[in-house]
């Protein structure tokens, strides 16, 4: 039996501070011919169109509702409408986003009736901790785990805010995507020998991440989501280390 082909495409590697030429957080994970999307930042539609994904992508997972992680959603759905997509699209996201996003699809004239955009269904599904059930198609399983991104930060008048990270598994091989976090503590338990870690670089200590990568014998660390002022510093940091990569938009990596 052939080994499955596992690929990650870092479509958007920017952060909450937009810069020209870098998209918001958006990553395509593929195992053989099954793709899924992790976050959907600004520029997602262009990146996915170039990869021929408007009709192939059936599932996306949103870590949390900060604009950099969701702002590409509407242009992506608009593109899918324009090409005449018919297959349903599933969007897994924190529950508090579902009703507002559904309403926005109507507001921006994409949804003609609830759940329908043109000829395709858009189904929002609330994330919960644990393995996402009923993902039987394809070779990948997805597990959502709680991120501590919002732990140090409160916004008056907003009670419920959830953030998740995701562990994707295929044939015993794992890819861990942190989304945004406050500490390494929330994802250390996900790290396993041979895993690929796709790690945000804005809110945590890079050296600490590398120590964990060595401790858990990871295959590689890919840093993304860095503050633009620290971009060159991150490139130098990664160049000096084996199996540590500073992601750029459109990069393709095996995992």
Positions that interact with Zn ion (CB under 5 A): 16, 66, 68, 180
95 or 239: CB nearest Zn ion? 95
In the bound state with Zn ion, the residue whose beta carbon lies nearer, of 71 and 167, is 71
Q: Is beta strand 164-170 parallel, antiparallel or unpaired with respect to 173-177?
A: antiparallel
Q: Which is nearer to Zn ion, 30 or 68 (CB)?
A: 68
Alpha helix locations (H) across 89-203?
98-107, 185-188
- Between the two ends of the chain, the Cα-to-Cα distance in Å is 18
What's the closest the beta carbon of residue 16 comes to Zn ion, in angstroms?
A: 5
Q: Which of 55, 59, 34 is nearest to 139 (CA)?
A: 34
- Lookup: tokens for 43: 């520029």
The per-residue b/e assignment along 87-112, b for 16 or more CB within 10 angstroms, e otherwise, is eebbbbbbeebbeebbeebeeeebbe
Compute the least distance from the CB of residue 64 to Zn ion, in Å.
6
As measured in angstroms, the least distance from the Cβ of 180 to Zn ion is 4
Question: Whose Cβ is closer to Zn ion: residue 16's or residue 46's?
Answer: 16
| Shortest reach from residue 90's CB to Zn ion, in Å | 22
Q: In degrees to the nearest 10, what's the CA dihedral of 137, 139, 144, 148?
A: -140
- Shorter beta-carbon distance to Zn ion: residue 70 or 122: 70
């Amino acid at each position: 039996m052939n080994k499955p082909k596992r690929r990650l495409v870092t479509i958007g590697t920017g952060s909450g501070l937009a810069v020209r030429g870098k998209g918001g957080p958006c990553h395509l994970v593929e195992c053989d011919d099954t793709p899924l999307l992790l976050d959907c930042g600004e520029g997602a539609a262009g990146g996915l169109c170039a990869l021929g994904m408007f009709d192939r992508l059936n599932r996306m997972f949103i870590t949390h509702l900060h604009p950099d992680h969701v702002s590409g959603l509407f242009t992506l759905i608009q593109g899918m409408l324009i090409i005449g997509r018919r297959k349903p699209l599933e969007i897994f996201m924190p529950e508090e986003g579902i009703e507002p996003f559904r309403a926005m699809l109507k507001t921006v004239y994409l949804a003609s009736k609830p759940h329908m955009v043109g000829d395709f269904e858009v189904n929002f599904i609330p994330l919960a901790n644990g393995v996402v059930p009923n993902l039987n198609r394809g070779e990948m399983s997805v597990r959502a785990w709680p991120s501590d991104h919002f732990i140090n930060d409160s916004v008056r008048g907003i009670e419920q805010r959830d953030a998740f990270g995701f562990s994707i598994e295929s044939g015993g091989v794992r890819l861990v995507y942190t989304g945004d976090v406050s500490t390494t503590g929330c994802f250390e338990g996900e790290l396993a020998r041979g895993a690929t870690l796709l790690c945000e670089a804005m809110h945590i200590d890079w050296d600490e991440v590398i120590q964990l990568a060595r401790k858990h014998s990871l295959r590689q660390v890919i840093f993304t989501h860095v503050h633009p002022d620290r971009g060159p510093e991150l490139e130098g940091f990664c160049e000096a280390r084996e199996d540590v990569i500073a992601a750029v938009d459109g990069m393709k990596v095996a995992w």
